[in-house]
Chain A
Amino acid sequence: MTLLNAENGKTYTVKNIETGDAELEAFLFSLGCYSGEKITVVKLRKSGCVVLIKDGRYNIDSALAGAIEIE
């Protein structure tokens, strides 16, 4: 499943990120968002979601949320 099907307040493990944009994936990596790392969903919205990566909060849009596979 992806972040789009996640539940508020739950912590998941990133399984795979498929954006087709290597630079963006490298950027996400430098934030600490890569396969095997934890990601917490703070708030899920229709337009995207707020996630907690390491100790930082980020708002990501639904396109990116749909590209992040979690388990």
Chain B
Amino acid sequence: MRIALAGNPNSGKTTMYNVLTGRNEKVGNWAGVTVDKIESPLRKKYSVGSEGVIIVDLPGAYSMSPFTSEESITSDYVRNARPDVIVNIVDSTNLSRSLFFTTQLLEIGIPVVVALNKTDITDKRHNKINTKLLSERLGCPVVSTSADDGKGVDKLARVALNSAGGTQAAPFVGKKATDRASAEKADRERFAFVNKIVSAVETRETKASDLGIQDKIDDILTNKWLGIPIFAVVMFLVFQISQSWLGAWIAEGIVFENGFELYGLVTLIDMLGAWVAGLMEGANPLLTSLIVDGIIGGVGAVVGFLPLVMVMYFLIALLEDLGYMARVAVVLDPVFKRVGLSGRSVIPFVIGTGCAVPGVMACRTIRDERERRATAMLAPFMPCGAKLPVISLFAGAFFGESRWVGVSMYFVGILVILLGAFVVNSVTGYKARKSYFIMELPEYKAPSVSKALISMCQRGWSYIVKAGTVILVCNFAVHLMQSYGWNLRPVENAGDSILATAAFPFAYLFAPVVGVVAWQFAAATITGFIAKENVVGTLAVCFVGLENLINLDELAMLEGTGAEIAGVMAISRVAALAFLVLNLFTPPCFAAIGAMNAEIKSKKWLFGGIALQLGMGYSLGFMVYFFGTLFTGAGFGAAWMPILGWTVVLVFTLTILLLSLKSKRQAAEKADAKATATV
């Protein structure tokens, strides 16, 4: 038996789904968090003896006529997949809008149960809804619920299970529409029907227009002058707390003034490793190495960065729950409009700071196809959690652990997105239709700490899984490839290894960015396309002597070895910054490219997007090196290096220019043809 959850965006469907199934799907306080259908079995405690009950969560929709692509998932599902029961989650704070969709669901013929959700808020405002009368008028059961605190959920489950197998009579049947005018007439009648019900069942003590505090907060947060600085401060705090304060304390420990030291996780794992190694003294060295370096070290691999990333996930989850995301979209809408995007693109970018994959997926709520594709190819430019180890390594080794390196990379990321949007815009031509921006402003609510903790642990766990699988395997493969030659025998000099010889041609390509022909950097950049953390691991494995300075398992430097690492890599600080930029702004990982492919749905756009990322990363990296070297007065390496670099930058720029000219000409031709046609 399948029970589908349907209703308006941000009415609490996924929160209800999580309570009913015990899952922890992503929730957030804005319209359009869920972009795909998800399903899971109903928890035993709610299924009262019924077996095989599946709960299906659907993206929010305002009506059965879809506006954006994720809304069509909902209307297609309830029409064609014929679930046994539809649980219509109704936002009780906006009854008059929600019931429009309810009356459409009631027409399908599948039994509907209305869950009157968010009753905690209506109760607080002393607004009353007569559920008995509502149920009579609609001709279906109505259950008061509050998914946030689990109130009424068991009753809802019971009523839904009882309704299965029945039929549903519609209290209002819209006339079959043949054209737009008659469709509008039918919809007007539907709203009139809904309005009559609402005025009969609802008594409001607090009108929706009376939410003075909410509006006052909005006045400040979306203020023309203050909005953007406030957003910048909020994001800065997210990074500062996760990377310098709380996150760093958990990872590295704290030494108090009186000398008392609270160990960090990294130290604790090291101590555990040393302890086990002590226990295993005299055992087979291979086995010891496997357990101490492999297994314990493998756990440690994650621990090094996990606290930083998890604290960041936690803070982002709080922001998502608060209702701030919609306001950020509003604040940045005018900025992004200038480059052909809109405020809709902002949410994917902010989510992308955690991980590019959900960031790219969030693009689905963008209605305009061109805008959606452009956002999906630009979201991976935001430095994500996986790029943190790379930033930390270079900031630590070359810039005295200076914070400005990390923070500035985020600002560069935003600038690159704006620049990239401008490029995409001029290459693909401005949109055919006028763009309008409308964003629902959800009510602010106190963010739930427990929900943020759950979200944090879940995303932290997938980080662990990734580190224990993809990254571990890659490091292992890199290790083997640089230890063995093509004859499959161990090599004495890593320069003769499979890895070195395979990466060597690419070393020439990347030489203009780092100023030296070094296969190690080429290999690191290439493995970085699989997953960004690999950059650190591969560098550590490849540079002779670096393995002792970087704890390979923790993907982090040992304390106080920054200068030595810089010495082993033998590149200048400018080159290090350039190499960092190259790696941050080229494609982030295979997973992100997969997500891009799913959302972009066009090979031409996908390859265009990857080419843009490659070209942008390389050009920026080279220019950082070139101009940095120019200012510091250091040497450029061989003369061919800047020549090659500028050639790539020129080809990249010229391609963009040519494509934009072509698109302009096509647009002009189209306009001409149209003019002729009208004449």
Asked whether, in the complex, the Cβ of A30 is within 8 Å of the Cβ of B65, the reply is yes
Asked whether, in the complex, the Cβ of A60 is within 8 Å of the Cβ of B334, the reply is no
Asked whether, in the complex, the Cβ of A64 is within 8 Å of the Cβ of B191, the reply is no
Asked whether, in the complex, the Cβ of A21 is within 8 Å of the Cβ of B224, the reply is no
**B residues in contact with A37, CB < 8 Å:** 191
Q: Which of A20, A24, A43, A55 contacts B219 (CB 8 A)?
A: A43
**B residues in contact with A53, CB < 8 Å:** 97
Asked whether, in the complex, the Cβ of A60 is within 8 Å of the Cβ of B438, the reply is yes
Asked whether, in the complex, the Cβ of A63 is within 8 Å of the Cβ of B436, the reply is yes
Tell me the interface secondary structure of chain A in the complex: mixed
**A residues in contact with B94, CB < 8 Å:** 54-56
Asked whether, in the complex, the Cβ of A59 is within 8 Å of the Cβ of B222, the reply is yes
Instruction: Produce 1/0 per residue, B159-188, CB < 8 A to A.
Output: 000000000000000000000100110011
**B residues in contact with A27, CB < 8 Å:** 62, 67
Identify the interface centre among A58, A61, A67: most chain B CB within 10 Å of its CB: A61
User: A25: shortest Cβ distance to chain B, in Å?
Assistant: 9
User: A63: shortest Cβ distance to chain B, in Å?
Assistant: 5
Instruction: Produce 1/0 per residue, B224-268, CB < 8 A to A.
Output: 100000000000000000000000000000000000000000000
Complex Cα–Cα for A42 and B213 (A): 12
Complex Cα–Cα for A37 and B215 (A): 22
Identify the interface centre among A42, A50, A54: most chain B CB within 10 Å of its CB: A54
Which B residues, 426 to 463, have Cβ-Cβ distances below 8 Å to chain A?
Answer: 433-441
Interface residues on A, range: 35 or more
Asked whether, in the complex, the Cβ of A29 is within 8 Å of the Cβ of B187, the reply is yes
Complex Cα–Cα for A37 and B27 (A): 32
- Residue B93, interface by CB 8 Å: yes
- Residue B629, interface by CB 8 Å: no
Complex Cα–Cα for A60 and B222 (A): 13
Complex Cα–Cα for A23 and B97 (A): 18
- Residue B96, interface by CB 8 Å: yes
Contacts known (A30-B100, A47-B333); A64 close to B438, Cβ less than 8 A = yes
Asked whether, in the complex, the Cβ of B440 is within 8 Å of the Cβ of A21, the reply is no
Asked whether, in the complex, the Cβ of A63 is within 8 Å of the Cβ of B437, the reply is yes
Contacts known (A32-B191, A43-B219, A55-B93); A20 close to B437, Cβ less than 8 A = no
User: A18: shortest Cβ distance to chain B, in Å?
Assistant: 11
Which A residues, 20 to 71, have Cβ-Cβ distances below 8 Å to chain B?
Answer: 20-24, 26-32, 34, 36-37, 40, 42-43, 45-48, 50, 52-61, 63-64, 67
User: B188: shortest Cβ distance to chain A, in Å?
Assistant: 7
- Residue A5, interface by CB 8 Å: no
Interface residues on B, range: 35 or more
- Residue B209, interface by CB 8 Å: yes
Asked whether, in the complex, the Cβ of B63 is within 8 Å of the Cβ of A30, the reply is yes
Asked whether, in the complex, the Cβ of A32 is within 8 Å of the Cβ of B96, the reply is yes
Asked whether, in the complex, the Cβ of B334 is within 8 Å of the Cβ of A47, the reply is yes
Complex Cα–Cα for A19 and B62 (A): 19
Asked whether, in the complex, the Cβ of A58 is within 8 Å of the Cβ of B67, the reply is no
Asked whether, in the complex, the Cβ of A47 is within 8 Å of the Cβ of B97, the reply is no
Asked whether, in the complex, the Cβ of A31 is within 8 Å of the Cβ of B434, the reply is no
Complex Cα–Cα for A50 and B218 (A): 9
User: B183: shortest Cβ distance to chain A, in Å?
Assistant: 8
User: A44: shortest Cβ distance to chain B, in Å?
Assistant: 12
Contacts known (A21-B436, A26-B67, A32-B96); A59 close to B330, Cβ less than 8 A = yes
Contacts known (A29-B187, A32-B96); A46 close to B209, Cβ less than 8 A = no
Instruction: Produce 1/0 per residue, B83-122, CB < 8 A to A.
Output: 0000000000111110011000000000000000000000
Asked whether, in the complex, the Cβ of A46 is within 8 Å of the Cβ of B224, the reply is yes
Asked whether, in the complex, the Cβ of B437 is within 8 Å of the Cβ of A55, the reply is no
Identify the interface centre among A20, A21, A29: most chain B CB within 10 Å of its CB: A29
**B residues in contact with A59, CB < 8 Å:** 222, 326, 330, 437-439, 441
**A residues in contact with B63, CB < 8 Å:** 26, 30
Complex Cα–Cα for A52 and B210 (A): 11
Complex Cα–Cα for A40 and B207 (A): 12
Asked whether, in the complex, the Cβ of B219 is within 8 Å of the Cβ of A19, the reply is no
Asked whether, in the complex, the Cβ of B224 is within 8 Å of the Cβ of A45, the reply is yes
Asked whether, in the complex, the Cβ of B436 is within 8 Å of the Cβ of A64, the reply is yes
Q: Which of B188, B434, B440 contacts A57 (CB 8 A)?
A: B440
**A residues in contact with B100, CB < 8 Å:** 30, 32
Complex Cα–Cα for A63 and B435 (A): 8
Closest A-B pairs by Cβ, 6 of them: A30-B63, A55-B208, A30-B62, A61-B437, A64-B436, A27-B67
A-B contact pairs, 14 of them (CB 8 A): A21-B433, A23-B67, A30-B187, A31-B97, A43-B215, A43-B219, A45-B222, A45-B224, A48-B437, A56-B97, A58-B441, A60-B438, A61-B333, A64-B437
Q: Which residues from chain B sit less than 8 Å from chain A, CB to CB?
A: 62-63, 65, 67, 93-97, 100-101, 180, 183-184, 187-188, 191, 208-209, 214-215, 218-219, 222, 224, 326, 330, 333-334, 337, 433-441
Given A46-B224, A57-B441, 7 more pairs with CB closer than 8 A: A29-B187, A34-B188, A55-B94, A55-B96, A58-B438, A59-B441, A60-B437
